[in-house]
Structure formats: C-alpha cells, structure tokens
Structure 1
Amino acid sequence: MLLGPDGRPTTAGTGTLPPPEDLLRGYASIVAARRYNEQASALVRQGRLAVYPSSFGQEACQVAAAQVLADGDWLFPTYRDTAAVAARGVDPVEALVLLKGDWHSGYDPYERHVAPLATPLATQLPHAVGVAHAARLRGEPTVVLALCGDGATSEGDFHEALNFAAVFSSPVVFLVQNNRYAISVPLSRQTAAPSLAHKGVGYGVPGEQVDGNDLAALLTVLGGAVARARAGEGPQLVEAHTYRMQAHTNADDATRYRSDEEVAAWVGRDPLTRLEAYLRAEGVLDDERAAAVAAEAEELARHTREGINRDVEPDPEDLFRHVYSRPTPQLEEQRALVRDELARDEAASGANVTTDTRQEALR
C-alpha cells in the first residue's frame, strides 16, 4: 500500500510513488471506467445487453493492467474486464457486443493486442502463456498480462498455465483480482493457502501481493512484474486484494451471501475517492480538471449508449468469413448454397412486389 484509504501516503509500502502524470492519467481512466460500469448496467436494465458483470470497485486493477503494458504487449481479459479492454484502446462499444449477443466478440484482437473476453474461468490463461512462449521463441520483447479472479485459481487451467510458464520461462504476468468471492463462494471455501500469491511457489513462480484499490501501488508492483518478465526473469504472479462492490451480475442477489456492513467497509476503501483525495492534496487535480475528466467520461458513456442501442443488420456472409483463413472446399460449397438460397428469396420477394403493384393498378 502506497496510498491509504484517506488518500494520504503511507509507509506501509516499500515502493516509490509513481510520477504525478501517471497517477493523473490513471485517475482519468478510473473515472471513465466507473462511468462505463454505470452505463453498461443501465443498458442491461433497458434490455440492450443480456448481462453485465460489473467491475465497480475494481477499476484500479483494470486501469493499472492496461497502463503498465507497452503497445506491443498483450492483454488477456476475463468477462469482468471490459473496463481494462476499453482502457487498452478498444472501442468501448465493441468491448460490450459479446454481452449483447453479437458476433466475433466485437473487436479484432490483433488491432490492440487484446484477446477476446473469456467467460469460462481460467481458459484464457494457457492461451496467454502460449502467446508469451511464442514471443520468446521469436526473440520478441513482448510481455503478456493475463487477468483472472480468485475463483479461477481453483481451476486446472490456472495450474497448468503456471506450470508451463515456469518451465519454459515465459514472459507472462498473472494478475489475480481477489475480490473475495467466486460468485457466492467465499475465499475461505476455495483455498487453504496463506494467500493466492503463495500458489506460485510450488511452480517456481514468484508471487507478490498488492492493495488492489491503490492505483499507485498497482502501477508500481505490476510495472515491476512486467519489467522483470521482459528482462527474461520468467513469469510473475500478482495477487491484488480488491472487492466487487456490486453483484456478480445483474442476475445475482449478493445479499444472499454477504452483509451490507461488509460492503460498506469496502466502500470506505474506494479506489477512486482514495486517488482523488491524494491528487487534490498534492495540487495535481483541481475542480476544473476534475470537471474536464468527468466530461470525457460522460462522452464515453454517450458513445457506448448510442453504439449499443444501434441495431445491426446481420450479414449472412459472416457465417463463412471468419471460420478459416483459407476457406475449405466444403465451406465454399455451403457459402454458394446460402448465396443461391438468398438470391432465390430476393427474386421471389421482388416478383411478389411486382404482382401486388399490378393488382393494385387494376383495381
């Protein structure tokens, strides 16, 4: 911890505070992420999104993950990491269309080096290690940062990914956002380990813990982990202690498994108010700058709202465009059949319109 819940610097951490410009950039991203969460949740209530897993309260983890990476690095997110995906530069509308039920996860992973959002727990982690291992074999300076939650550490994919990454010294950073619940299952029912960071020890992966609601500490710890991975020191595991202030998704009733008092205690550790208090005390942030940041976040919300509310006309050709880089003969045959059927339907529709027009003229 570098900043206490009240925003005051603390001696509990061993790192140095990041430069003010980095914290101000992070503040703007957290404000945008908070507004993004609010807007996406509203879109669910309006029936424009099927579901939304909010990261309200975890925004500092999301923002820091995107901020510590270089342009050529890769981010592997989970379904709850839409704010990190948007902070990485992906169009916030495209980061949500998977949750709308649209095609192809909505964005090109190669454009911003952001893998598709992964809904099954931990399945993206071996993929992340594979990308990191391939980059190492090619001699590229690429680092991969893979996000997951505490529940994912109970999955086999998590352990397989750590083991492979350690054996082959893959440049990958595993960021575990420990928000204390795997949906409704508390951490105490998931593991008997002293911490989730300890889980790396058995695989030879160094583990580190950090206050996940302290952006300054996150930038320092994650930045160090990325630097070590890039320098050839192999995989790193970081456990960020944070809290999901809202329900697991809009379909969840969090009051069934946690108390209002517990949530209130974490509200006092809000990553946004903590950082804002520090920046104001340091004279880096004033009312004018805060208003400008809020306006930028509101513009992002407007763009998101209008983009999701825009109906998209499905193109049947999309069934075939993205299956293989080189379509197989069977796929081309299926494409031709669909084209022929659509052409016949269009011709029949046109003929019906002509007949109706003639009949109307004869009346």
Structure 2
Amino acid sequence: MPPILSSVPRVGNGLHRTPVTTAVRHHAQHFRGIGHPNAHGAQDETARLCCFEGREYGHTKRGLLAHFAVQGTSPNRRWRRHDKGVWSLFVDELCPSTEHEVLPRTGGEGLIQLITPDGKRRESPEFDDWVLDVTDEQLASLYEDMVVIRRIDTEATYLQRQGELALWPPLLGQEAAQIGSGRALREDDFVFPSYRENGVAYCRGVDLGDIVRVWRGNAHSGWDPYELNMATPQVIIGAQSLHATGYAMGLKNDDSEAVALTYFGDGATSQGDVNEAMIFAASFQVPVIFFCQNNQWAISEPVGLQARVPISSRAPGFGIPSMRVDGNDVLAVLAATRVALHRARTGGGPTFIEAVTYRMGPHTTADDPTRYRDEAEMGEWAAKDPISRLGALLKSRGVLTEALESSVTAAADAVAKEMRHACITMPPPAPMDVFSHVYSEPNSTLDTQKENYARYLQSFPADSVEGINQ
C-alpha cells in the first residue's frame, strides 16, 4: 500500500482522474439559450420558449440531453433534425433563475458542498459520482496537503517579519480552494496563477526555495514555467487570465486535451483583463477554466460593494457556464474542478468556478485587516475552517488518529524547515543582473544605465559589501 504521508509534493497522485461511467452524464455540450428574466429580475409565471441548438461538437440527441443531466432538469422536448445528424432541441420551460447559474449547485446558500462545516458528508446526486474514486487514503493526503501549505504560509510570514522576505501574500483560510483544484489537474495542464497561489505551486512540484525566491527579491521570477506547466506569479491584477485564454486558444489549435486554468480573486473580476479574456474564451470556445477565489475582500473593499450579485452569475452573460462551490470544502472543489476539466477536454469550452472562501489573514504582510474587518466576521469564517472540516470527517471515519495527526504535523514542520533553509542560504543576486532579461534586443538607454551603474560599483573598495557583490 502506498504511504499516506510524504514530505514532498505528490504530482500526479491520481486525483485528476474522472470516473469513466459518469463521463456522458456530466458532459455539458455547448448551447445557446433564448429567454431572460423580466426587467425587475423576477421570472414571469408563464413559461418561455428556450432553444438549445447543437453545434459541431453537440451533434447528437444524447449530447444535447447531457446538458440537462448536468443541470438536473427534465424538460419537455421537441426535436428537429438538421443535416449531418445535427439536432435542435426546443424546450418549454422557465428560463434560468435570476442567479443565472448554468451548472448545478447543492448545499447551503446555493453552494456545491460535499462536506459540511462540522465535518459531515453531504450527499449530492450531481457531484457524488465525480469523487466516488476518492479513497479515505486520498482524503488523508488532501488533509496533509492543506496542513503543509498552511505551515509553509506561516513560516513565510515569519520570514518576512524577520526581514528575510520583502513581502508575503498569505493564503490562510484558502487551502481547500487551492489544494482541491490543484490536485484535480493533470501534469500536461497549464496553470496561470495570481500572486497568492503558493498552495497550487506546491501541488505542481515547485521547489520550496523557488516559491519564496521572488518575494526575497532574488530573481525576476520564481521558476521555469515550462518545466512544471505553471506560470510564475502575476502581480498585475487579472492579467494572467488573458495569458490563460491565449494559451488555451493554442491548445485548441493543436487538438490537445490539456486545459489552461487561471486563478484570480474577487477583486480581479472588476478588471477589464478578466472580462476581455472571458469574451475571447467564449467566442472561440477554448479549453480554459476561470477559477475565482472569492475571499470576500479585495484588500479593504468587501465583495458586496463591487458585486451586487454572486460573481459566478456574471459568467453566463458571456456564454460561459459557471459553478459556485464552497471554497472551504476540498472535496467539493475537487469535484467541481473535475467537471470543468472534463467539459474542457471534451469540447465543451470554458467554465467559470467561483470558490466562496475567506482570507483569514491580511492581504499581504504590509496590510492590517483589523482596520476594516470586525472580529465577528472572522469568527464566523473560522468556524468553517477547511482543515478542521476535513479533519472532523476523517476522525469520524477512524482515519485521522492521534498518531497520523502527529505525523502530518511533523511532515509539515519538516517542509517549513526546508523552505527556511532554502531562503536564508539563497545567494544574493549580482547587482548587474537587474539589467538582464529586460529587453530581448539591445537598448541604448538601458546600456547607458548599465555602464553608469558599473562605474558606480567600481568606486567602492573591493572588500566592501558593494564591492563583494559585484
């Protein structure tokens, strides 16, 4: 039996697989709906006529009905056949709800939820099949992953407070959103993160030293994106969504089954880059997943101020199906990501996932959240902690024993120790490196600056700090 515990990332641990028996049932074909709520956002009591037309990859009755299987609906149907076996399906039913959710939702507050905050397993006819293959041993591995990245996060915060890092963006509270989605990916999928996806980087096998390298200021970026199929952290809010859509367009042109997945926060959804990326993704039906970690705060701006409706409800306006998942439920996040990945791999196009979670720490270590958040809100979300939730489920099943819990803690401490050592022993960059990789072609202005700076450094004694670091 393979070991449950490991102090190194388990890339390709099998959690990316989808049960074959559920593939047809959950395959949502591309569709076009006609009909909207009235001007006041309410549904008319009379049924409207909705038309879902098959496209080149939705050319069977079975394919069109798969959409309704995913929605969990059973509409009255009238068929019309076109050339080459393409069908149109006319449906007499009410149009989608005012929340405009296209893919199914279960659980409290309309969220996809498979584990309740108190650690009880919740049944979901729509999503249970997507995680039937997840064993207790794999759940324990997911638990360990979350404990490890929380320990990494804590240690990196300590390093910043001690002056070893210039800055650090904590992910405290968002472990389930990152581990559940990160472990669903295949090695050939490509990740386009923001600056907070250090947990996903761990899942992809990024070296611990490379994770903190950019925050120490020792390199322009952290790692080789093509080695692990993960781009380096993007600090320009939402810009990575454009890169993901463009990459996905290339995947489609190459007839690849790989998928691009981009992460961003609730604040990024107000950026033009994200909206433009969604327009192109929908227009060209490319295999990309927009994964929004709605942690409730865009620095000091609450999500309710910039989003008067659930963020996931925006995506159908672009023609992109969306899901709203409990972002503190690692199993639900895994299931939802698998659904989206399967859609993308089988020609279904883009999917938008809103993982509703909470940023328990500051925006970065330069932020003081006590200035704009109250303790009551923090307490409410602390009761939904993702690690405690999965831990309670595993304890109820007799999996998470005291011995196992101690082993997980020891493994997490070992990883944190390894990261600290990599950080403090990292050689400083040579001063002249600041001029490298700025322009692909020679630039006279930059060359002049480089020459001037070189002369400046030479003015220091050879045994000085400036002289030694030349």
Work out whether residues 218 and 428 of structure 2, in 8 Å CA contact, stay in contact via their aligned partners in 1: no
Which one-letter code corresponds to 2:210 in the other structure? E
Does the residue aligned with 1:96 lie in a helix, a strand or coil?
Answer: helix
In the alignment, does 2:342 pair up with 1:210?
no
1:40 maps to which residue?
156
2:119 maps to which residue?
7
**Hey, what's the Cα distance between the residues in 1 that align with 2:394 and 2:146?**
13
| 1:330 to partner: Cα distance | 6.0
**Hey, what's the Cα distance between the residues in 1 that align with 2:186 and 2:244?**
16
2:395 maps to which residue?
280
Q: Name the % identity.
A: 38
In the alignment, does 2:341 pair up with 1:229?
no
Match of 1:255 among 360, 370, 376: 370
2:143 maps to which residue?
27
| 1:313 to partner: Cα distance | 3.7
| 1:22 to partner: Cα distance | 3.0
In the alignment, does 2:246 pair up with 1:122?
no
Does the residue aligned with 1:104 lie in a helix, a strand or coil?
Answer: coil
Work out whether residues 2 and 13 of structure 1, in 8 Å CA contact, stay in contact via their aligned partners in 2: no
2:286 maps to which residue?
170
2:383 maps to which residue?
268
RMSD: 2.7
Does the residue aligned with 1:237 lie in a helix, a strand or coil?
Answer: strand
Gaps spanning 5+ residues in structure 2: where?
Answer: 1-112, 464-470
| 1:316 to partner: Cα distance | 5.9
Work out whether residues 211 and 241 of structure 1, in 8 Å CA contact, stay in contact via their aligned partners in 2: yes
**Hey, what's the Cα distance between the residues in 1 that align with 2:443 and 2:333?**
50
| 1:151 to partner: Cα distance | 0.3
- TM-score between both structures, scaled by the size of structure 2: 0.69
Which one-letter code corresponds to 2:118 in the other structure? D
1:312 maps to which residue?
427
> Equivalent residues in 2 for 1:95-110 (5 A)?
95-110=211-226
**Hey, what's the Cα distance between the residues in 2 that align with 1:42 and 1:64?**
26
1:76 maps to which residue?
192
| 1:283 to partner: Cα distance | 2.4
| CA spacing shift, 1:228–1:306, aligned 2, 3 Å | same
Match of 1:300 among 415, 436, 444: 415
Does the residue aligned with 1:55 lie in a helix, a strand or coil?
Answer: coil
**Hey, what's the Cα distance between the residues in 2 that align with 1:256 and 1:277?**
33
Which one-letter code corresponds to 1:122 in the other structure? G
1:146 maps to which residue?
262
> Equivalent residues in 2 for 1:321-332 (5 A)?
322=437, 328=441
2:97 maps to which residue?
none
Work out whether residues 218 and 429 of structure 2, in 8 Å CA contact, stay in contact via their aligned partners in 1: no
1:358 maps to which residue?
none
1:354 maps to which residue?
none
| 1:180 to partner: Cα distance | 0.9
In the alignment, does 2:356 pair up with 1:244?
no
2:94 maps to which residue?
none
Gaps spanning 5+ residues in structure 1: where?
Answer: 351-363
| CA spacing shift, 1:241–1:222, aligned 2, 3 Å | same
**Hey, what's the Cα distance between the residues in 1 that align with 2:367 and 2:441?**
43
| 1:38 to partner: Cα distance | 0.5
Does the residue aligned with 2:261 lie in a helix, a strand or coil?
Answer: strand
| CA spacing shift, 1:177–1:330, aligned 2, 3 Å | closer
| 1:80 to partner: Cα distance | 1.3
Which one-letter code corresponds to 2:161 in the other structure? R
Work out whether residues 248 and 288 of structure 2, in 8 Å CA contact, stay in contact via their aligned partners in 1: yes
**Hey, what's the Cα distance between the residues in 2 that align with 1:196 and 1:237?**
10
Count the aligned residue pairs. Answer: 347
| CA spacing shift, 1:315–1:261, aligned 2, 3 Å | same
| 1:203-232 CA distance string (max 9 Å, x none) | 100011000000111111111111111111
- TM-score between both structures, scaled by the size of structure 1: 0.88
| 1:184 to partner: Cα distance | 0.8
**Hey, what's the Cα distance between the residues in 2 that align with 1:183 and 1:313?**
31
**Hey, what's the Cα distance between the residues in 2 that align with 1:185 and 1:88?**
31
